[in-house]
Structure 1
């Protein structure tokens, strides 16, 4: 099986982290490839960034639609391209936020998300509600660290800041599972889990393993109602690739 993991921002450093995680956890029969668009914001820290990242992300996915069996959107948000891709392909599509939150609910009653900048707190609370998990989410806490600081700070400094925030979620919010709320935190889960004594989930790993299972049991995205294939219509002033997916 072949799985494409798309980092929607243009940070090649983040993409390398995603690829390293995929290489570590993919089953022997799985080829997992991480890519990022060549145009768009270098980091995604809010809705505007999400929308700016969407055309490049969609174009990348469409160009590789026939090369892969499933797709991961490796941004810890309720990214709009997740749903757009579900409309234009029957192949399974997962975001790393929803994947980690669903897995968290199988490992404990309550979970908390530890994310980066403060602006993500209300957006991720909205995502939790969208996924139907409001009753299971103990909290969403931010480290107040900008996303790109994950590239610039020392690993020890970053780990200590996430550790401090996660401990607050466990001690003050009664969280039983911690979800790492940024693709830039990929690969930090096991060290944090050992220190915290509760499950710590890397969304990239969760999405990858869930997709391996979905592909393995031969299920596809429903084309009834919500994710029906879009009907043909003229597209004005946009690259031709966006019109190729209409039925």
Structure 2
């Protein structure tokens, strides 16, 4: 199975963080990592930059002569935690199984019955309300009482790195765990992927972190396998 993991912004640093989270991936898939072209925004912070991102990325995904043409892959992960419109664009074009990060995480946590109390830690405050709304839309009614809310680490995606790991861990400990009563915490920005292991070590015994890129890849692998039966 060939899976494309596309960072839909133009930050190579973000792509490297995503790839770091999948180092040692033991699945059945051949993973290809790619970054949006230079005309894509450096980070996605709302509808305007998301639309800009779609236009830039589609020049690669929709071009049959491109190595990143969607038809060259069995599945695609859009490595963005927002409700990225590129997913719907690919579906409309008849592309392979595709998902962004948030739907995969919600499905993972709620699939097997009653979900544990869970929350999200995201980058900046502007994402709190949109993510809260998206989770409520994605959750089945029986799982909504497990949802505790979204917390912002007060960082931009490009500020997330090893030098702020202790700050993020302190936020999770104080806000997600103690204030919201959630010991299962979804990392709500692809930028956290590169520091997932360090964060989990700092929060060992206090919180279980859900790394969204790993979950999304597993989700797509499952979808590909089901489709090949």
Normalising by the smaller structure, the TM-score range is 0.7 to 0.9
Residues 99 and 207 in structure 1, CA contact (< 8 A), matched pair in contact too? yes
Q: Is the 8 A contact 1:96 1:203 kept in 2?
A: yes
1:165 to 159, 167, 171: 171
Select between 100-109 and 6-15 the one with higher mean Cα deviation. 100-109
Q: CA deviation at 1:33?
A: 0.7
Say which SS state the counterpart of residue 24 (structure 1) adopts: coil
Cα distance in 2 for partners of 1:59, 1:210 equals 26
User: What are the within-5 Å matches in structure 2 for residues 1-247 of structure 1?
Assistant: 1-27=1-27, 29-38=28-37, 39-63=39-63, 64-89=69-94, 91-105=96-110, 108-132=115-139, 134-150=144-160, 155=162, 157-167=163-173, 168-196=175-203, 197=205, 198-218=207-227
Q: 1:237 — aligned with what?
A: none
Measure, in 2, the Cα distance between the counterparts of 1:172 and 1:106.
Answer: 26
Q: What is the CA-CA distance between 1:90 and the residue it aligns to?
A: 5.0
Q: 4+ residue stretches of structure 1 with deviation over 4 A?
A: none
- Secondary structure of 2:172's counterpart equals helix
Q: In 1, are the aligned partners of 2:21 and 2:196 still within 8 Å (CA)?
A: no
* Structure-1 separation of matches of 2:212 and 2:133: 18
Query: With structure 1 as the length reference, what TM-score do the two structures score?
Result: 0.79
CA RMSD in angstroms comes to 2.1
| Bigger mean CA deviation after superposition, 206-215 or 192-201 | 192-201
CA-to-aligned-CA distance 1:27-71 (integer Å, 9 cap, x gap)? 2x3111111221211011222211211111233222312210001
Gapped runs of 5+ residues in structure 2? 64-68
TM-score normalised by L of structure 2: 0.85
| Residues 62, 22 of structure 1: alpha-carbon distance in 2 compared, 3 angstrom cutoff | farther
**Which ranges in structure 1 are unaligned for 5 or more consecutive residues?**
221-247
Task: Tell which deviates more after alignment, 76-85 or 185-194.
Answer: 185-194
Q: CA deviation at 1:81?
A: 1.2
Q: 1:34 & 1:142 partners in 2: Cα distance?
A: 27
Distance between the aligned counterparts of 2:217 and 2:127, measured in 1?
Answer: 23
- Structure number with larger C-alpha Rg: 1
Deviation per CA, 1:107-159, whole angstroms, max 9, x where unpaired? Answer: 84221110011101111112112213543320100011112212xx5x1x321
CA displacement at 1:169 relative to structure 2: 0.8
CA distance change for structure 1 residues 207 and 26 in 2, over 3 Å: closer, same or farther?
Answer: farther
Shift of 1:103: 1.7
